[in-house]
Structure 1
């Protein structure tokens, strides 16, 4: 007969809070956020102000493009323990995340300042998208409310717009889908840009929503080959359906660079951002003000290949 073992299995949950806080103090910010999702107790403990103040102070003087969150170990406290702990639980966690977002926003704004003299659009849009960790996802919602999120597979950048591609072997049945939404998704913390958008801490901004219940009247077939039928769904969506079965083969969307970053990050998961309307300057001297001085930039491309690109200047129109 086997004797009962005197060694009992232990888990993190069984450890005293003081020990857990000492363990959590060696984790970086992203790991703390993940651990906080395990249980209510872990969420409370990982909000410890002393841990987050040390992380906050370790990156306070570093810039967006050259810092990485450091572990708490070895970081010097600049304030007394009492003054740190007197704040409400989670205060320094919120301060750290807010500082990250503000620092990244300033860096992106600097990248977007240079504009093309012909188009008036940002020159460094590709660099800004990379710095923000920005991606785009499509979300299908079926008749019973279940959602299917598909991550982008490819992005091509052109002079005035970018094209996002979604394709793969697993798609929800189109006949059961009620709507399709396109979201801009941006990581809350910079060091989780390589993780899946389905897991992790990502900010979602709704860009556009399409009704799929009456796709026949909401779309126009613009081409086909032996395998795929191509439909245009306004605004700016191309839907490829297999000829056999009429299920989804791929989805493409084209986004103009004008205020693209704002549309992709400033909205919420359910509502797009409302940007202020453009207010033209008034001119009482020139009776034809607003009718001349236009430029038109034409860029015809397919994927990464450009077929025509040119700018026409000094255009005018009549009243």
Structure 2
């Protein structure tokens, strides 16, 4: 009796509760039947477990035999599935493999997407003219078009609509800078730009831009400022300095793989042979963290023909000899930076924005870049000033900027005593369509 009860308890403990049989099954009630009862229940439980195990193995084999990969589906089923996708998801699906790419170019799917996105919304009933009806019938001739035709039409129409919307927002122009006024409004609802990845191991001491007690900063063209911690040699922050000119187009119409290209410039004929560049206007800003040290506009800039130095046309904005043109920098110049934990200010560094407009008010040369004031090893070529002389230089493929400053001890401020632009002759010839 103890043995039978122990077996029953053991089965219950393992979670294998044997089925309860009614009295009289297997043997009559009595001592003999009582001894054989647990054995019959145990055997029945084992049989049930075996059936359950066989059933599980059968289901596993059946599921293994019935597993179907998505790629092995017939094209008709895949096309039906693709017809429920939106344009963005369908474009991503076409990047899976070669077969999905061809299926995702199906004209019947794309003409439905095209018609839904760009169908005219009429408020009243109108009878189409013969020309409009012919155009509509031509649009609906799906089979006559090559694969992917309506996908290209949809993408081209989307780009054109975005350009039209942006052109409407950017129509108002600032009379001082010649740039759109609502650049921020145009960028706010759009997606973020993509910043390319750089190899930080290439940042050496020779390319260091400035430093303070916590970080070192490096300038990476175009317009990226990278801060590295001094001790850990790890990335502290990245600052992007972008000029407003074509910023909306570069951010919304370009990508990491296909950057936005500026529209081709139509050359302007020079109508005054006695002068070189004339009637130009310069707007220059020097700032950091919302603090502006300099904000000035210089008009009626010119240079005579033949006044060329080493392949550059020299455009004098502030001259040594004219003391009335010298300008002070307001406040202590420094590049402010901030992270979630630390902040600081790198002395003698700032952001310089240059906007040079031609005689018709069109942007001729624009850039935004960090600059650093460095002490001059030699005295200035102009009048004698009381104080240490500093200079700021910038250079790219289109031109150079040279700024010379003097530190006045009595007033504790910098004065700009010389500002010169050097414009590349190749840039000028391309602008005017000339070759020399």
Q: TM-score range by the shorter chain?
A: 0.5 to 0.7
In the alignment, which residue of structure 2 is the partner of 1:103? 161
| Structure number, greater radius of gyration | 2
In the alignment, which residue of structure 2 is the partner of 1:222? 210
Tell me whether 1:249 sits opposite 2:307 in the alignment.
no
Superposed displacement of residue 16, structure 1 = 2.7
Tell me whether 1:51 sits opposite 2:103 in the alignment.
no
Structure 1 residues 55 and 293, CA, compared in 2 at 3 Å: closer, same or farther? closer
RMSD of aligned Cα (Å): 3.7
Pick one of 273, 282, 291 that aligns with 2:270. Answer: 282
Structure 1 residues 278 and 243, CA, compared in 2 at 3 Å: closer, same or farther? farther
After superposition, residues 1-319 of structure 1 pair within 5 angstroms as 2-3=54-55, 4-5=58-59, 6=62, 8-61=66-119, 83-130=141-188, 132-140=190-198, 174-175=200-201, 177=202, 212=203, 215-217=204-206, 219-225=207-213, 227-233=214-220, 236-263=223-250, 265=253, 269=257, 273=261, 276=264, 282-284=270-272, 290-291=277-278, 294-298=281-285, 300-302=287-289, 305-308=290-293, 310-312=295-297, 314=299, 316=301
Task: Kindly indicate whether the alpha-carbon contact (under 8 Å) linking 1:104 and 1:132 is maintained by their aligned counterparts in 2.
Answer: no
* CA offsets 1:69-111 (integer angstroms, 9 cap, x no match): xxxxxxxxx6599831232222111211121112112222222
Secondary structure in 1 aligned to 2:176? coil
Separation in 1 of the partners of 2:258 and 2:109? 33
Q: TM-score, normalised by structure 1?
A: 0.59
Separation in 2 of the partners of 1:62 and 1:250? 48
Structure 1 residues 41 and 314, CA, compared in 2 at 3 Å: closer, same or farther? closer
Separation in 2 of the partners of 1:54 and 1:26? 11
Structure 1 residues 266 and 12, CA, compared in 2 at 3 Å: closer, same or farther? closer
In the alignment, which residue of structure 1 is the partner of 2:325? none
Secondary structure in 2 aligned to 1:115? coil
Task: Kindly indicate whether the alpha-carbon contact (under 8 Å) linking 1:50 and 1:81 is maintained by their aligned counterparts in 2.
Answer: no
Task: Kindly indicate whether the alpha-carbon contact (under 8 Å) linking 1:49 and 1:91 is maintained by their aligned counterparts in 2.
Answer: yes
Alignment gaps of 5+ in structure 1: 64-77, 142-173, 178-211
Secondary structure in 1 aligned to 2:291? strand
Superposed displacement of residue 120, structure 1 = 0.9
Superposed displacement of residue 268, structure 1 = 7.8
Structure 1 residues 103 and 20, CA, compared in 2 at 3 Å: closer, same or farther? same
Separation in 2 of the partners of 1:235 and 1:101? 25
Q: TM-score, normalised by structure 2?
A: 0.45
